[in-house]
Amino acid sequence: MPAEVERCTALSLALGEPLIGTASTVPNWIMLEHPGPWGPDALRAGRLPPELAARLRTLDRQFGVRVVLIRRHGRRVSEGRRVRCFVAHTGPGRPWLERLTLTSHAELLDFDFSPMDWSVPPGLGEAAGGPLFLVCTHGRRDPCCAERGRPLARALGAAYEDGLWESSHIGGDRFAGNLVCFPHGIYLGRLDPEAGVAAARAYEAGAVDLDHYRGRSCYSFPVQAAESLLRRREGLTGVDDLWLIRIRRPAAGVVEATFEARGGRRHTESVRISLADPPRPLTCHVRGPVRPPAYSEL
């Protein structure tokens, strides 16, 4: 690998890797304040109470919940040493976001996460209207997230002091700087500070920055790709412009997604799934060559 493209972000750019269909598939989220330091695996090495860390690690397997640690830029702590926690459902259907204020991290052990049909808010905390922004700055996981994420977090923190949080790993290190917008779970990548503030302003106004759009986290990878291609073709930039109606797999390696747009018009987008060439490392720490999925319009 040439020295000038040693970082996974630089290599991804050099290969012209598309952003579409690369958002982590995560419908439900728990975002727990913890100033760090975070080890490569934040929950295992994040200095949480061992019993709580063990329980949080089971939620993904049991209920499809992504648990991330969050902190203020500069590792500021909440006033009065209270612990902020957010729970979110990004869809399908109406997204929502709730805010909890805890006296300690261990208080989460008292919550019952078993009824995890989060299509409706569980009432664990108070409704948070948003927007809430996460920027991955998890440098122990991948240096690109720190090198490109921290300047992005600094700029967004100046624009959204209460709404911006640094985050542990959210997926797609090679697309840093990465931003996730809640409550919709909109993933945006390859953001520098100026582009990041513009993208956040667009989301706050109800729009998606299609130039940096990776996908919405409640959808599978091929459905994300279908939605992105449809948005670009039809010029649909509104966050709520499309609702997923149906998914079909009419042939091997093909996914067909039908969306309903405002006004009731339906659009069907078909994408072909292939493997990208050439093989490449997906992170700075994992150097083994991989051929990630690639998506093209039929």
The 10s digit of each residue's pLDDT in 92-113 is 888 999 999 999 988 888 887 7
pLDDT tens, position by position, 38-91 = 988 888 876 788 888 888 888 877 777 899 999 998 766 655 578 999 999 998
Q: Mean pLDDT: which of 33-42, 127-136, 176-185, 275-284 is highest?
A: 176-185
CA distances, 181 to each of 10, 27, 206, 214, 270 (Å):
24, 13, 11, 12, 26
What contacts 24+ positions apart, CB below 8 Å, involve 235-241? 236/261, 237/202, 237/207, 237/208, 237/210, 238/206, 238/207, 238/208, 238/262, 239/184, 239/186, 239/203, 239/206, 239/207, 239/208, 240/206
Greater pLDDT, 3 or 28 = 28
* Res 1: pLDDT: 40
Torsion of CA 272, 278, 284, 287, to 10 degrees: 120
Confidence of residue 269 (pLDDT cuts 50, 70, 90): very high
Instruction: Say which amino acid occupies 289.
Output: P
Over residues 17-53, the pLDDT tens digits come to 999 999 999 999 999 999 888 988 888 876 788 888 8
Please tell me the predicted confidence (pLDDT) of residue 73. 87
Average pLDDT over residues 7-16: 95
The pTM (predicted TM-score) of the whole model is: 0.94
- List the one residue out of 224, 260, 220 whose CA is nearest residue 242: 260
Give the mean pLDDT of 105-130: 79
